Amino acid sequence: SIVGDSIEKWRKEADKMSSCMVKREVKDK
C-alpha cells in the first residue's frame, strides 16, 4: 500500500537520522 511504503521510507530516514545523531554524540564525548 502507498501508506505502508511511505511509513517504511519514513522509518528508514528516521533510522539514518538517529544513527547520525548517535555518531555525533559519541564524537562530541
pLDDT at position 5, please?
A: 93
* Residue 13 in grid coordinates: 530516514
pTM of the entire predicted model: 0.50
Question: Which ranges of the chain have pLDDT less than 70?
Answer: 29
pLDDT, position 9: 96
Angle at 8 between CA 7 and CA 14, to 5 degrees: 85
- For residue 11, the model assigns a pLDDT of 95
CA-CA distance, 5 to 23, in Å (whole number)?
A: 27
The one-letter amino acid at 23? K
